[in-house]
Amino acid sequence: MSEHTNKGTSRRDFLKHTGLIAATSTIAAGMIPSLYAAENNTIKVALIGCGGRGSGAASDALNVKSGPMKLVAMADVFEDRLKGSYNNLKGAHRDKVDVPDERKFIGFDAYKHAMDCLSPGDVAIFATPPAFRWVHFTYAIQKGLNVFMEKPVTVDGPTSKRMLKLAEQATAKNLKVGVGLMSRHSRAFQELFNRIQDGEIGDIILLRGYRMHGPGGSFQSFAAPEGMSELLYQIRRFHSFIWASGGNYSDFYIHHVDHLCWMKNAWPVKAQALGGRHYRYSPDGRRYVDQNFDTYAVEYTFPDGSKFNFDGRCMNDCANIYSSYAHGSKGLAVVSANSDCGLPSSTYRGQNADKSKLIWQSDIPRDQRNPYQNEWNDLVDAIRSDTPYNEAARGTIASLVSSMGRMAAHTGQEITYEQMLNCPHEMAPGLDKLTMDSPAPLLSNAEGIYPVPQPGIVKNQEY
């Protein structure tokens, strides 16, 4: 459950009371002001990580209607991505994009320069590979900036501990932090959560999640091309490398992990799993060098002994299933009818989605149906009304639980929550000190092949 709602209060109810700007708010001495103090009340935005996900987040930020928003700085390690993102955003938002060349920054220290263009109370967007979240979040807290960070926010135990401490620091400074787990901002899911907690389908005894489709993003990769550094290649193809993204398990499947645990209103205490690599060569004979499994089947166990089964597959020409379900002692809930949070959500008497047994089906106003926009509306409402709002701890736990299932598959061992949190293997230490000439956190052999998980052989870490 989100930190800023409770069982009896939906986010819709919450927003009824948070739309006004608390212009007279004062912050105790030593605290960072959460309201942007510029005379024109414009919230400035810096985009750090200019790929598709970051560009989408920036566009949603600029679409917020509760007050003026302006994109003023951009940062990336790839100039072509920054340029493409800028052109698209400028074309779509025109006067809301004010990023001259001197506020476009390239390199591993670009995030600092972009945030230096903001004032306390403005917003930094983090949409780089998640391995860099703790680095960027640390600087944002120092600068007194509100943050929107994409998911996942961690990929291993040491960085999860780091992020949990940073979340506490952000709360102490009254900063507002959104995490891109947009399912929590689905108005249908919010209503379904309340119905489940009120006992509409009884006690939750089983959760099921499926994301099975063809390869997407940078799931598969070939050897790095000549002339490109290993470091930049691994960042460019971050879905292929566990250190950078948590691999496809963490990056693709975290939404189902998060929203089904939300429906249960609990986090699992352990996981056991299966996984495998079926295809190592492309149809034209080139070898894939990524670290991902093609299939995952994970069983999570909650403190009360109930189960959550998740199945993931990235293969062409197989049956596509992309949905989620909650089974209770009295009935069934279709949580996501399709995709990560697809409408409609519904509840039924019994364990089949039989129309004759329908109890409830979501009917959300059109202007509330986009959870990506909702999460930005909610964050900016909290900023402008100075309402406590920090999703960083919950986003970290969702990331850790995703990593727990992934590690169970990659090692062939049962992995508990505490084992995952306390696993000493930090996959990419020292990311705050990277330069363009730094070695990559993961090294290939002479043939350009990277280490892969070996369940039952490598058991105390993932590769």
* Cα–Cα distance list, 84 to 69, 90, 225 (Å): 21, 10, 22
SS3 labels along 318-361: CCCEEEEEEEECCEEEEEECCCCCCCCCEEEEECCCCHHHEEEE
H helices then E strands: how many in the chain?
13, 15
Judge residue 201's burial from the number of C-beta atoms within 10 Å of its C-beta, 0-12 exposed, 13-18 middle, 19 or more buried: buried
pLDDT at residue number 447: 79
Give pLDDT, residue 23.
31
Quote the pLDDT of residue 16: 33
Give the DSSP letter of residue 136: H
DSSP state of 62: H
Query: CA-to-CA distance for 145 and 21, rounded, in angstroms?
Result: 18
What per-residue confidence (pLDDT) applies to 448?
Answer: 79
Cα 313 from chain centroid? Answer: 19
Task: Classify residue 214 by its DSSP letter.
Answer: S
If we measure between CA atoms, which residue out of 182, 193, 190 comes closest to residue 391?
A: 182
Structural domains of the chain, ranges and CATH numbers in brackets: 11-182+371-390 (3.40.50.720), 185-368+400-433 (3.30.360.10)
Task: Quote the pLDDT of residue 7.
Answer: 35
Residue 115 contacts residue 48 (beta carbons within 8 Å): yes
**Block means of pLDDT (10 residues each) for the chain, length 463 residues?**
37 33 31 45 98 97 97 98 98 98 98 98 98 98 98 98 98 98 98 98 98 96 92 97 98 98 98 94 93 98 98 97 98 98 97 97 97 98 98 98 98 98 97 96 88 97 96
- Dist. CA 408–CA 351, nearest whole Å: 29
Sheet (strand 104-106) strand order: 104-106, 69-76, 43-48, 123-126, 146-149, 177-179
Please report the sign of the dihedral spanned by the C-alpha atoms of residue 61, residue 258, residue 115, residue 167.
Answer: positive
Helix (H, G, I), strand (E, B) or coil at 27: coil
Instruction: Tell me the residue type at 326.
Output: A
